[in-house]
Every structure is written in C-alpha cells, then in structure tokens.
C-alpha cells in the first residue's frame, strides 16, 4: 500500500508509521465499538495515512460525514468527531450533540479529535454552547506533514499563504516548524539551514527556539538530511502563475489533483465491451490515484507533455510484444510461465490505457486555439516582451467574459514580470475587471495587491530583466524531449524558486547576492550543532540530501524540476520536497479571492 | 486591435522564443492513437478481471479507502435507520424534558473565570487535562512539566504551556502591564490559537478604549482580533473597532465587504451609501461610488421594468421575457440589458444605454462590443449598421469600428447573422489575409472572389471554383473574372 513512500532516498514510511501509531493509540483510548464523524476535508489527507482496515481493526464500525441534524443511529459505544478547529464545525457538532437522544440506552460517549491542533477558541465556543462537558476525550492529532510520495510531503493547509500575507496570521508557520521538529526526531537533526524570505526566517527562528526550549530534544539519530532550504512563496510569485507544461502539472491545471487523486470525465474511460452498444455510459467521474507506485506514471509524470506521447507508444509496443509471446508458448512450462506473468501485464495494460486516455483529454485542450493564445501571452511576459502596456489578449478575454481567475492570473503575471504595472495600465485593468465582473471584486483586487501579486510600479524601475538574466529564467533553446535544463517544465521558463535551489548548491548564493537583494525578505544561513559522533563522513560520490520546504505552496512543475536536478548525473544533490500545500495558479488565486457568497449560516 | 494571426505566426517563426507547439503534430497524434490501438486490441486477450485487479470501485475510490468506506457504512446504516427511528421517536419525546446532563468534567475558568471559585479549580483541571500529549517523539516532556504546578507561570511560560495545549488560568494577569506582556509573548510565538485565546481574555477584562488603543500599535494582534470578530460574527464590536482604530485601507474595505451579507437591496443600497464617506484611496472611492450609483440605478430600472413586464403592454418584454432580475449584476451586464430592452430611449432616462455610458464613463470599445452583442441577439441589423456608421462634416458616411471588424464578424456570426449581413462586415476587414480566412470560413463567396480578383490571383480563384455551387451566380462571376483576366 505504501511501498512508494520507501522508494526514495529518505524512507518516508517511517513518518507514515508514526502517524498510524498515534492514530491507533487514540482509538484505543476510547474503548469499545466506535463511529467516526468526519470533517469531510480531512478524509483526503487521512486516506494517505490509513485505510479503513486500520480503523476497523480498532473497532470503528461506522463512519459518517459531519452535517447538522441528528446523528445517524448506530449501535456503538463511542462517537468520535475528527475535525479541523473551525468555529462553523463546532456549531455543527453542538447541534449533533444537543439532538442526541439522552434516553437511549446504552448511552453513547462523545470524543473530539482536533486536527492538527486543539484550539482553545473552539473549546471555549463549545463551552458557551453548553456541550463541552459532553466530550470525554478532547485531543489533537498533529497531522503536520503528510507523506504524499517517496520525496514529497505536504501539510495540505489550503489557506497558509493567505493567512501569512493577508491576515498576518502565522499559525501555519508554527505548524510548519513543528512538522520539521517531528521530521528531525525521526530522521536526525538537519545540520545546515538556508532560507530566503520573511516566513523562512520566522520558521528557522522557531525551530531554533523549540530546540533550545526542549533540552531533551538532542537526539542520537544519524542525520539523513544534510541541508534544509526554506523558501517563501512570495520570493517567487511568478512561477505558480504560469501554466505548467509537465504531464502531472497539466493534469493538475486542467482537472485538479486532490490528495493524489484526480477526477476525470468518464467518457474516455467507458469499458469497451462487445455487445454493450455503449448503452450505459458512466456518468460519475472516473477517479484515479496518481503516485509513483504506478510504474508508468512515475516515468511520465515529470516529462514535458510533448514528450509523453512517444513514451506511451513505446510502452504500447512492449506490452503488445509481451502478449504476443503466448503464441510462442508451446510447452506446458512455457504456458505456465506466461500465465504467471499475466497479472503484471494486465496491470501494465490498464495503466497504459488510463494514461493514453488522460493524454488524449489533455491534448484536446493543449491544441485548442485559446490555450495557445494564452500560453503565447504568458511566454511573452516571462521573456520580458511588452509587459508595460495594456495587453490586447487580456482585454479581449475580459470583453468575452472569460473566467475571472484566468484574467487575474494573466494580469498578475504581467505585473510580476514588470516589477509592478504602470499606474495607468493598472487602473485600466482594474476598471475593466470591475465593470465586467462586478464592483465587489474590488476586495479581491485589494487582496492581490496586498499579497504583492498586483501592484503599481513604485520604484519606477523594473528589476525583472536583471533577475531574469542573472538567474537565466528564460532559456531560448529548450529541449522538451531530452531536457538538459529545468526550463523544460515550462517550455522555456526556468522556475525561479528551483533556480535558487540549484544555485545554492553550485556555485553558492554568494554569486547572486545582488539579485537576492532584489527579491523580498532576508536570506540567511544557520547551523545546528551535532554531537561529534553523529557528524557525517561522506563517502566519495555519495549524494547530499536537501529538504526544500516551500512556505506558501509549490506546483507540480517545480517538483518536476527538482526531481530533474536529483537525477542529474553530476548533480550531487537529491531533493526531498515539503510544502504547506500543493498548488497551481488557479487554486492559488482562488485562495486569495474574497469569498463573495454570503456565509451559509 | 489584436495582432493579426499572420503577424503572430511570423513572429513566432522569426523570433527566438518558442511557443508550446506540437511541431510533430501528426506524429504525436498518431503515437497516441497507436498506443490506444494497442491497448484496445489487447482487450480480447485479457478480459473482464481487470476490475478486480485495480481493486477500485467505479468512482475510482480504492476499495477500503476512508472516503469509500464512509459511503459504504453510511448507506448500510441508512437503511436500518428508518425502521429504528420510528420506534425510538415515541420514547424520545418524553425524554426531551429531561434537563441537560450537567457535565461533571469542569474546565478551568479560562475565559469566563468567575473569581468566586478559587484558583484551585483551574489547578485541578490542569491536572486532569489529558490532552496535553506531545506527539513529536523528539520533544521529550520538558522539565517544566515535572515541576510542581504553580500559579506563578511567567507570561512566557504561560504562552508555552498554552501552545502545548495545556490549560492555564489567565486571571492572574491583572495589571495592564502584565496583560500586554502576555499578549506580546503570544504574538512572538506565532501560534494563532494562543494569540486569539489571549485576545479573548483581554477583550473581556479590558475597557474597550484601552484595548483598541493598545492594539493600534500591535498590528498582528489587531489582525487576529478582527479575524476572530469576523468569524464569530460580532459585527458591532468589529465595526466599532474599525471606526475607532486608525483607518488603514484594508479596514475600510472590510467594512465595505459587509454589504455582501445584506440581502435586502434597499438596505444594501443604504449601506453602500454610508461606505462612500469612508476615507478610501481616491481610486477605491470612485469604484465604490460607482457601485452605489449602479445599484441605485438598477433598483429604479427593476421596479419600472417589472411593472412594464407584468402589464404586458410592451412588445419587447412580451417577446423576450426577462430571465432574471437585473439587481446586483455587473455594470457590463446592465449595459447589455439596457441595450437589449431600452436601446432607443432618450439619453435623459436612467435606463438608456447612452446615459449609462456617460454616467460610468464606459470606454467606447466596451460600449460598442456590448451594444453589438445585444442588437445582434435581437437581429436588429439596422442598429448594428448604425453602430459603425460615422458621418464626417461634409456629410459623407464612413464605416468605423473601434474593436476591429474581424471581432464584429465573430460576434455577428455567433448570433447567426445571415450571410448578407456577415458579408458586409467581412468586406470591411482591413488585413487581406484575415479577410480571406473569415470569408472562406463563413462562406462569403462574393468577398473571397472579389479579394482574389483584386489580388489578381488566377490560381486561387480557379481553385475556389470547386467550392461554389455548380451553375450558381458565384460560379458565373468567377468565370467572367477569369476570362477578363485573360483578356488583360
């Protein structure tokens, strides 16, 4: 089930195991049969830690989604709420508890498990409603960093960026620091910490303080990570705005990947069986899990989409040939051997079928005129063309009332690539947007301005060309099939964040001091002392392991770029990636938009 | 207006910048097809069982995953629920009168803490608190945990304890000085949970003016309190806070934001009116002023039109009944609406398009686009014509489109304009290449033929012959041009 977690350089199964252990311990505290009432948001992340079978082993007999009203009947001794500490959820729980039939025998016991933290505020809220006393166990489950893949961890904290930059609420950074402490407890103290950005500085400070405050925290585990690199998302606002062009990136851009699952339109996946006549086409979306446990997916996920077709066709030939073997199987022994291979071949075939269908779906979109036009404009901006005037394509899109998020992505991209827009240009865009989509969006525009994504050019100087040239963010000769540089993930644009990681290893940040100063927030280096016995003596040729933590979110294309660097023969560094949330431009902008529909209560 | 396609193409080929193109278009497609073919051909060999192999339900949820099981267990219990529910219903009513079970598990008087109860209460609670387990394996219980419980926690220790989920009494912090130290300590810890808890304590124990005054110089804490008040819906206090604290831009906007929660249009209008006076940035003020004016306008138009529609006197409303109310729609939508229903009205009326254009300084382009779309939808081709006709001072008429005629053609085509109408505007497209493309695409034969004639392109013209109907006027036209060309 979790084999893919141990495939990387760092065995992340241990982290998952720790999470499972904690869960079991909690469940055992509530003796007897139980039902879990889930905050629906949590089922995805929890699914990456545990399957239903684990819960069942610990007497979880029923599971429900949290909703107002009377709790469903279930003959269990315990009702456990698994919730995020949110006030609106506390209201629902209160409603559930108050409607519980007090006369029923035997009575059911209530418990709450807060994820990731107990909240004094929520408990106070419950108390005011007069139900706090109904809960026997109120505990927390610190699901800080969830293992997504062999080299990928996420906190799945949707609003981390918004909270940090719009609401000055740095709780998510506190959780990030705690997550890193847990990680160090399992994989040893990380001797070197680098960082860029205000949030990075905060997290490093918190880590150092936490370590100081818990003198017992000196552990005796041999360090697996050599370096931690903390990067603020606001150091590189550009990358998430551009359309990702890797296979996985495009799947996320178009369909959205949630907790490694993607939902796809079912038409292309209809089981084609003779005699069916295509009568009952499935109407529910097809849901697939995407991770490196699937051999084919691991091979193509990080490729530029233009290079995916050839891999799929090669695979098809290999599989066809393998099935042809059956004609050559003459003896009983040969047939037996063929049959024994069948399950593996069938798996490979179904995997190929799925990805061929997905590639077709994506191709329909990438070959559309609008996709091309949009990309053309993006690439113009990123290479520094016409970033200082009103763009015709954007104007056209507004006039045709394309989705607002698309417009905002482009306008923000232009702003970032021009170190802010000229006041006249900015005012023009704002007016067009407000007149076409509604004045209330002034709130969203304000949020974007506050986050630095959309702003007037204040200094009167455009720093982007200098940054672009120094960091080689735009590469003219990009090879999509056999890439030699990370810029292949955006067909020309090399993600700034990953360039920073790359340059840190070689030749070091000292060489780019000037540019680092142009980017927001401080850059720094810290060392954590190790006892002499634990200091690493590196074998010749052994790769270093760097943990890159993106505070405020990371895109799949950036992950692909880091994996590309890990695989470079002379790279010398392997990367493990952690983040507060896996994002793309759309989900990111959405998280910054003001929710305009009135609250449901 | 927009760069012509041809230019764009040339740009991409000549410049160094690469677009995301599929150079090997056919190859790529055939590759996908190939793998698909292979996959399909294999189906007869390996049949049916692949569902078992994947072990996923159709929705893709692996069998046994959590979200899958929720559905499973929930649906199985739902069926048994009904029968049981009814039998229990009878009993439950008699129990409803029972007093709410009084909790024996009392928590510290953390927030509301009545002084009647000695501090002993909170002490025992702290001891009985089992939730303070620390999950990070590395972080062994700090020494502090083994110390005797004392009520003498320093602000720093208190914050640390709260961060670890322990219950602490804050009541000891009596002086303003102490409370502020506590707050600063909480802010330094970055844990919003604790910051909010401290704020609730301060909110309860400090005079409002003092609290607000102190928050003015503590922006982070201020943001947390605002967020908390928003979430708990303490609107009055929130607005007081916004009013009393020095005004920063975001605070004004958060007051403006309140209008979204007001359902009644009249009240919403009044509220927006109140917002205009707030010291926004000059630019935001004008947007909010416009928002107010627009809503005011919409209320008048809506009342008027609803009356007209129900009276059934007006033809346009009979023919095209309104699908939705115009209230709270964006400006451009409102303009479309007024171009649709009120196009011919004099500028003096609130609902006339020209009035809207003037009041909101709608740019020409935007206006023309919207008016065109509205009139084309009504198939009012004369209005469309008038939209692009300008007279110069000598009285000559000239066709002009601020949005470019290729866009005009696109919009007309989308509204199923007849070829005769379409043709007229295709002819006005300046760029020859675009004109030819559009004319060919929409079968405006005359335009194609005339363009080739002007280009003196015999070959293309001959080739085009097979695209027109045999024996049609178009064919004749081509033939006559061709023979004329020969004579020349």
Distance CA A94, CA A99 (A): 9
Q: Do A213 and B56 touch (CB under 8 A)?
A: no
Q: pLDDT for A491-517, tens place per residue?
A: 999 999 999 999 999 899 999 999 999
Q: B221 and chain A: CB distance < 8 Å anywhere?
A: no
User: Domain-by-domain residue ranges, chain B?
Assistant: 155-259, 262-362, 376-443, 446-487
- What's the pLDDT score for residue B132? 34
Question: Cβ A379–B85 below 8 Å, yes or no?
Answer: no
Taking only the tens place, the pLDDT of each residue in B457-482 is 888 888 888 888 888 888 888 888 88
Give residue A473's pLDDT.
97
Output the average pLDDT for chain A: 90
Give contacts of B 438-457 with A, CB under 8 A: none
A342 with B46: Cβ contact below 8 A:
yes
**Measuring CA to CA, how many Å separate A47 from each of A126, A256, A277, B51, B366?**
28, 18, 37, 21, 50
Task: Give B459 or A465, the one with higher predicted confidence.
Answer: A465
Q: Check residue B22 and give its pLDDT.
A: 41
Looking at per-residue pLDDT, the higher value among A1 and A406 belongs to A406
Residue A155 has pLDDT above 50, yes or no: yes
Q: Across residues A375-388, what is the average pLDDT? A: 96
- Chain A residues whose CB is inside 8 A of the B131 CB are 118, 137-140
Tell me the chain A residues in contact with residue B250 when contact means C-beta distances shorter than 8 Å: 446, 450
The residue of chain A with its CA nearest to that of B25 is: A367
pLDDT of residue B90: 39
Element (H, E) at A171: helix A171-187
What are A316's two structure tokens? 């098809």
Q: In the prediction, which pLDDT does B71 show?
A: 61
Which residue carries 């290079």 as its tokens? Answer: A307
Residues of B in contact with A138 (CB under 8 A): 131
Nearest to A169 among B61, B165, B223 (CB): B223
Could A65 and B70 be called an inter-chain contact, meaning their C-beta atoms sit closer than 8 Å? yes
- In sequence order, the β-bridge partners of residue A110 are A79, A135
Per-residue pLDDT at B60: 46
pLDDT of residue B292: 95
Helix, strand or coil, per DSSP, at residue A112: strand
Judged by CB atoms closer than 8 Å, whether chains meet at B74 and A130 is answered as no
CB A268 within 8 A of CB A363: no
Task: Closest CB to A124: pick one of B56, B191, B200.
Answer: B200
Task: Tell me which chain B residue has its CA closest to the CA of residue A450.
Answer: B250
Tell me which of B20, B79, B290, B331 to substitute to probe the interface with A (most A C-beta atoms closer than 10 Å): B20
- Interface residue B231 vs chain A (CB under 8 A): yes
Q: A54 vs chain B: nearest CA distance in angstroms?
A: 10
Q: Within chain B, which residues score under 50 in pLDDT?
A: 1-4, 6, 8-26, 44-60, 77-149, 246, 488
Mutation target for A interface from B30, B41, B42: give the one with most A CBs within 10 A.
Answer: B42
DSSP H helices, B168-314, are: 176-188, 192-205, 208-216, 219-232, 235-244, 249-257, 265-276, 282-311
- Rounded CA-CA distance A256/A588 in Å is 12
* Of the partner residues B106, B137, B256, the one whose CB lies closest to the CB of residue A186: B137
Give me the phi and psi of A54, to 5 degrees please.
Answer: -65, -45
pLDDT of residue A540: 66
Q: Looking at residue B374, what is its pLDDT?
A: 93
Task: State whether B77 and A185 contact (CB < 8 Å).
Answer: no
Q: What is the pLDDT of residue A475?
A: 94
> What distance in Å separates residue B475's CA from the closest CA in chain A?
33
pLDDT in tens, A442-462: 999 999 999 999 999 987 789
Given this model, what pLDDT does residue B64 score?
61
User: What's residue B229's pLDDT?
Assistant: 82
pLDDT for B68 equals 61
Give chain B positions within 8 Å (CB) of A44.
67
H/E stretch holding A524: strand A523-527
Q: What is the pLDDT of residue A233?
A: 97
Query: How close A516 comes to chain B (CA, Å)?
Result: 26
Query: Do A523 and A531 meet the contact criterion of CB atoms below 8 Å apart?
Result: no
pLDDT category of residue A324 using cuts at 50, 70 and 90: confident
Give the closest residue to A239 by CA, choosing from A478, A462, A556.
Answer: A556
Q: Which residues of B touch A385 (CB under 8 A)?
A: 17
pLDDT of residue A249: 97
Q: Do B17 and A492 touch (CB under 8 A)?
A: yes
Mean local confidence (pLDDT), A105-110: 82
DSSP label at residue A273 = -
pLDDT at A536 over 70: no
Q: How many residue contacts between A and B have a Cβ separation below 8 Å?
A: 349
Residues of A in contact with B201 (CB under 8 A): none
The predicted structure's pLDDT at residue B51: 39
Q: Taking CA atoms, what residue in A is nearest to B283? A: A427
Q: Answer with the residue of higher pLDDT: A289 or A284.
A: A289
Least Cα separation, residue B488 to chain A (angstroms):
42
B271 touches chain A (CB under 8 A): no
| DSSP-based three-state secondary structure for B425 | helix
Q: Go through the domains of chain A in sequence order and give each one's CATH number.
A: 3-143 (3.40.50.2060), 148-239+496-588 (3.40.50.1910), 247-270+284-367 (3.90.830.10), 370-462 (1.25.40.850)
CA B477 to chain centre: 53
Q: How far B145 CA sits from the closest chain A CA (Å)?
A: 11
**Hey, is the C-beta of B124 within 8 angstroms of any chain A C-beta?**
no
pLDDT at A33 over 60: yes
Measured between beta carbons, the chain B residues lying within 8 angstroms of A136 are: 105
Q: What is the pLDDT of residue B108?
A: 29
Contact B70 A216 (CB under 8 A): no
Measured in whole angstroms, how far is the alpha carbon of residue A99 from the centre of its chain?
38
pLDDT score for B62: 53
Q: Are B340 and B319 in contact (CB under 8 A)?
A: no
Nearest CA in chain A to B103: A133
H, E, C per residue of A174-205: HHHHHHHHHHHHHHCCCCEEEEECHHHHHHHH
pLDDT for position B25: 45
B135–A182 C-beta distance less than 8 A: yes
**Number of Cβ atoms within 10 Å of the Cβ of A25:** 13
Q: Which of B22, B138, B160 sits opposite A213 (nearest CB)?
A: B160
Q: How large a percentage of chain A has pLDDT more than 90?
A: 69
Give bridge partners of residue A582 from the DSSP assignment: A554
A392 to B3: CB separation less than 8 angstroms, yes or no: yes
Is the CB of B220 less than 8 angstroms away from the CB of A168?
A: yes
Query: Residue A439 and residue B250: Cβ atoms within 8 Å?
Result: no
- The answer to whether the CB atoms of B50 and A323 lie below 8 A apart is no
Substitution target from A309, A311, A395 for chain B, most B beta carbons within 10 A: A309
Q: Which residues 243-262 on chain B approach chain A with CB closer than 8 angstroms?
A: 249-250, 253, 256-257, 259-261
pLDDT at A433: 96
Q: Is A547 helix (H, G, I), strand (E, B) or coil?
A: strand
Instruction: Verify whether the Cβ–Cβ distance B1 to A392 is below 8 Å.
Output: yes
State residue A217's pLDDT score: 56
CB contact, 8 Å: B320 with chain A?
no
3-state SS of A402-465?
Answer: CCHHHHHHHHHHHHHCCCCECHHHHHHHHHHHHHHHCHHHHHHHHHHHHCCCCCECCCCCCCHH
B68:A478 CB<8 A: no
């Amino acid at each position: 089930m979790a084999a893919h977690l141990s495939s990387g350089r760092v065995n992340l199964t241990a982290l998952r195991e720790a999470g499972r252990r904690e869960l079991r311990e909690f469940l055992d505290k509530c003796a007897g049969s139980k039902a879990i009432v889930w905050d629906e948001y949590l089922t995805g992340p929890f699914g990456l830690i545990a399957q239903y079978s684990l819960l069942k082993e610990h007497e979880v007999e029923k599971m429900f989604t949290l909703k107002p009203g009377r709790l469903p009947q279930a003959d269990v001794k315990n009702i456990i709420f698994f919730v995020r500490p949110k006030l609106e959820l506390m209201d629902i729980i209160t409603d559930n508890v108050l409607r519980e039939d007090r006369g029923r025998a035997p009575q059911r016991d209530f418990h709450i498990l807060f994820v990731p933290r107990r909240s004094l505020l929520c408990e106070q809220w419950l108390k005011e409603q007069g139900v706090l006393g109904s809960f026997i166990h109120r505990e927390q489950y610190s699901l800080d960093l969830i293992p997504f893949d062999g080299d990928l961890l996420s906190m799945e904290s949707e609003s981390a960026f918004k909270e940090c930059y719009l609401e000055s609420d740095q709780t998510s950074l506190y959780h990030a620091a705690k997550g890193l402490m847990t990680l160090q407890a399992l994989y040893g103290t990380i001797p070197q910490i680098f960082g860029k950005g205000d949030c990075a500085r905060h997290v490093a400070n918190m880590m150092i303080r936490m370590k100081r405050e818990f003198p017992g925290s000196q552990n005796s585990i041999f360090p697996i990570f050599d370096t931690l690199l903390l990067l603020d998302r606001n150091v590189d606002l550009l990358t998430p705005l551009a359309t990702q062009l890797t296979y996985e990136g495009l799947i996320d851009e178009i369909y959205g990947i949630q907790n490694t699952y993607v939902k796809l339109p079912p038409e292309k996946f209809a089981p084609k069986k003779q005699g069916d006549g295509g009568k009952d086409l499935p109407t529910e979306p097809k849901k697939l899990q995407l991770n490196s446990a699937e051999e084919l997916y691991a091979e193509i996920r990080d490729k530029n989409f233009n290079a995916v077709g050839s891999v799929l066709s090669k695979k098809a030939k290999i599989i066809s040939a393998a099935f042809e073997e059956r004609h050559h199987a003459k003896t009983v022994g040969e047939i037996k051997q063929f049959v024994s291979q069948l399950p593996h071949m069938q798996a490979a075939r179904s995997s190929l079928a799925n990805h061929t269908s997905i590639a077709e779906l994506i191709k329909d979109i990438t070959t559309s005129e609008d996709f091309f036009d949009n990309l053309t404009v993006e690439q113009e901006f990123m290479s520094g063309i016409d970033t200082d005037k009103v763009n015709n394509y954007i104007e056209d899109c507004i006039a045709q009332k394309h989705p607002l998020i698309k417009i905002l992505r482009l306008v923000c991209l232009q702003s970032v690539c021009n170190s802010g827009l000229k006041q006249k240009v900015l005012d023009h865009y704002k007016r067009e947007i407000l007149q076409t989509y509604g004045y209330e969006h002034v709130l969203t525009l304000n949020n974007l301005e506050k986050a630095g994504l959309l702003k007037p050019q204040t200094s009167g100087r455009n720093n982007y060309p200098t940054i672009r040239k120094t960091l080689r963010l735009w590469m003219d000769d990009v090879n999509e099939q056999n890439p030699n540089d990370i810029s292949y993930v955006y067909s020309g644009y090399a993600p700034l964040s990953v360039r920073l990681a790359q340059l840190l290893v070689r030749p070091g940040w000292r060489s780019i001091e000037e540019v680092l100063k142009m980017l927001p927030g401080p850059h720094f280096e810290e060392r954590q002392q190790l006892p002499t016995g634990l200091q690493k003596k590196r074998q010749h040729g052994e790769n270093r392991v760097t943990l890159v933590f993106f505070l405020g979110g990371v895109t799949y294309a950036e992950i692909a770029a880091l994996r590309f660097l890990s695989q470079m023969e002379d790279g010398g560094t392997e990367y493990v990636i952690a983040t507060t949330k896996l994002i793309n431009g759309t989900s990111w902008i959405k998280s910054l938009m003001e929710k305009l529909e009135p609250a449901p209560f | 207006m927009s760069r012509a396609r041809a230019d764009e193409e040339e740009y991409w080929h000549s410049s160094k910048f690469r677009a995301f193109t599929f150079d090997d278009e056919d190859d790529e497609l055939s590759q996908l097809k190939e793998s698909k073919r292979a996959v399909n051909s294999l189906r007869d060999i390996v049949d049916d069982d692949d569902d078992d192999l994947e072990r996923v339900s159709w929705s893709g949820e692996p069998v046994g995953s959590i979200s899958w099981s929720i559905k499973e267990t929930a649906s199985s219990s739902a069926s048994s629920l009904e029968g049981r529910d009814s039998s229990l219903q009878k009993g439950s009513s008699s129990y409803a009168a029972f007093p709410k079970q009084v909790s024996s598990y009392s928590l510290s008087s953390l927030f509301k803490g009545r002084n009647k109860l000695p501090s002993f209460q909170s002490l025992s609670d702290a001891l009985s608190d089992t939730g303070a387990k620390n999950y990070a394996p590395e972080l062994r219980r700090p020494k502090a945990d083994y110390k005797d419980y004392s009520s003498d926690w320093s602000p720093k220790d208190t914050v640390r304890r709260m961060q670890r989920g322990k219950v602490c009494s804050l009541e000891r912090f009596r002086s303003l000085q102490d409370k502020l130290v506590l707050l600063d300590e909480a802010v330094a810890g970055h844990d919003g949970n604790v910051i909010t808890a401290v704020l609730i304590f301060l909110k309860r124990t400090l005079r409002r003016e003092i609290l607000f005054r102190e928050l003015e110089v503590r922006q982070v804490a201020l943001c947390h309190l605002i967020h908390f008040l928003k979430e708990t819906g303490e609107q009055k206090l929130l607005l007081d806070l916004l009013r009393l604290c020095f005004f920063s831009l975001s605070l004004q906007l958060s007051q403006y934001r309140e209008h979204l929660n007001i359902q009644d249009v009249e009240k919403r209008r009044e509220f927006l009116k109140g917002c205009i006076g707030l010291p926004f940035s000059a630019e935001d003020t004008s947007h909010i002023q416009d928002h107010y004016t627009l809503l005011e306008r919409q209320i008048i138009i809506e009342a008027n039109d609803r009356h007209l529609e129900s009276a059934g006197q007006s033809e346009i409303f009979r023919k095209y009944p309104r699908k939705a109310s115009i209230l709270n729609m964006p400006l451009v939508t409102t303009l479309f609406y007024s171009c649709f229903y009120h196009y011919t009205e004099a500028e003096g009326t609130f609902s006339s398009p020209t009035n809207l254009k003037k009041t909101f300084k709608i740019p020409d382009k935007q206006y023309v686009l919207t008016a065109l779309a509205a009139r084309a939808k009504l198939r009012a081709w004369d209005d469309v014509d008038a939209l692009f006709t300008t007279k110069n001072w000598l009285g000559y008429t000239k066709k002009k489109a601020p949005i470019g005629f290729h866009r005009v053609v696109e919009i007309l085509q989308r509204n199923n304009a007849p070829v005769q109408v379409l043709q007229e505007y295709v002819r006005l497209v300046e760029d020859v290449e675009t004109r030819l493309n559009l004319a060919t695409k929409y079968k405006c034969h005359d335009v194609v033929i005339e363009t080739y004639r002007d280009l003196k392109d015999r070959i293309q013209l001959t080739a085009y012959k097979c695209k027109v109907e045999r024996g049609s006027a178009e064919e004749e036209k081509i033939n006559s041009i061709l023979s004329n060309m020969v004579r020349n």
